[in-house]
Amino acid sequence: MLSRVSTRAPVFFYSFYSRVGTAMDKKTPSIGSLYFLPFAPTTMMHGWNANNHNQCIISRGFAKKKGGKAGKQGAAAGPDGRDGDTAAPEAAEGADLEQVDQKMGRYIQALDKDLRTLRAGRADPAMFDHLQVDAYGQSAPLSAVADVAPRGPQLLVVNVYDPQLKGAVDTAIRECGMGLNPQALEGGALSVPVPKTSKEKREKLARMAKQQGEKTKQNVRNARRSAIDETKKAGLPEDESKRLVKEIDALCDAKLKAVSDLIDGKQKELLNASSS
């Protein structure tokens, strides 16, 4: 029996081992203990116990394809026959107009906030639009904790919703840098006299407004320059690059006009305010 088996080549044999006993003691081998011999010479079969002939199996091995099932489920090939997982080059893009618009807009918002602190000696509730109050351990705008109303050309009255915050509102007004001195009224109210300003003072404030406007315009121009540089370095087609640069220029012109309008309006307010 063994001689007949050994003459049929190639024949595959496997053996298995036990951690405790000797080889061939275990009747149910585990897959991890298989050893395949592609060719078994007849001399290796001498001494084989016929009682163990049932442990000799003639089998055919089937090799799994590398990658198995997962390989079939991989990325599909591209139209050029290459693997689908090959990263495609990113499309060239220029500056994001929306981001440029927002950046320029923030400069203008900051300017508007600063201009509101330049008072012309006339009581205007907008003077306090930028004020922050320490309310309940957090910073809150004055408009969230109080109402401000004019009571004549030189007087503002602040009605605090919660009388417990009256002291915090008083401190915020005193420390706002406008030289104001609130006076306590009954309940949660404060009166805020607004001192008159001389002509010389108002002219000085008008010059300050212009300086702040020029600084804002420079910031807007810098944002324009950065956006154009980014667009030119993006490697866009010439026509597309020119179109995007033109849109950036138009956006910049609109923002510069908005700055000029703010400055002109503030200067008129300052210079035309009555000093009497």
As given in the structure block, the two tokens for residue 89 are: 């080059």
Q: What is the pLDDT along the chain (276 residues), one digit of tens a residue?
A: 444 444 444 433 334 333 434 444 444 444 443 343 344 444 344 444 444 444 433 334 433 444 444 444 444 444 444 444 444 445 557 789 999 999 999 999 999 988 887 877 778 888 888 889 999 999 999 999 999 999 988 899 999 999 999 999 999 999 987 888 999 998 889 999 988 888 888 899 899 999 999 999 999 999 999 999 999 998 899 999 999 999 999 999 999 999 999 999 999 988 887 544
Distance of CA 60 to the CA centre of its chain: 59
CB 50 within 8 A of CB 71: no
Write the CATH number of the domain with boundaries 125-193. Answer: 3.30.1360.40
CB 202 within 8 A of CB 275: yes
Specify the pLDDT at position 224. 96
Alpha-carbon gap, residue 156 to 82, rounded angstroms? 75
Q: DSSP code of 151?
A: -
CB 229 within 8 A of CB 154: no
Alpha-carbon gap, residue 224 to 211, rounded angstroms? 20
E strands, 112-172, where? 132-135, 138-141, 146-150, 155-160
120: left (phi over 0), alpha (psi -120 to 50) or beta: alpha
Specify the pLDDT at position 178. 81
* Beta-sheet pairing, 138-141 with 146-150: unpaired
Alpha-carbon gap, residue 231 to 89, rounded angstroms? 18
CATH superfamily of 97-119+198-273: Ribosome-recycling factor (1.10.132.20)
Domain locations along the chain: 97-119+198-273, 125-193
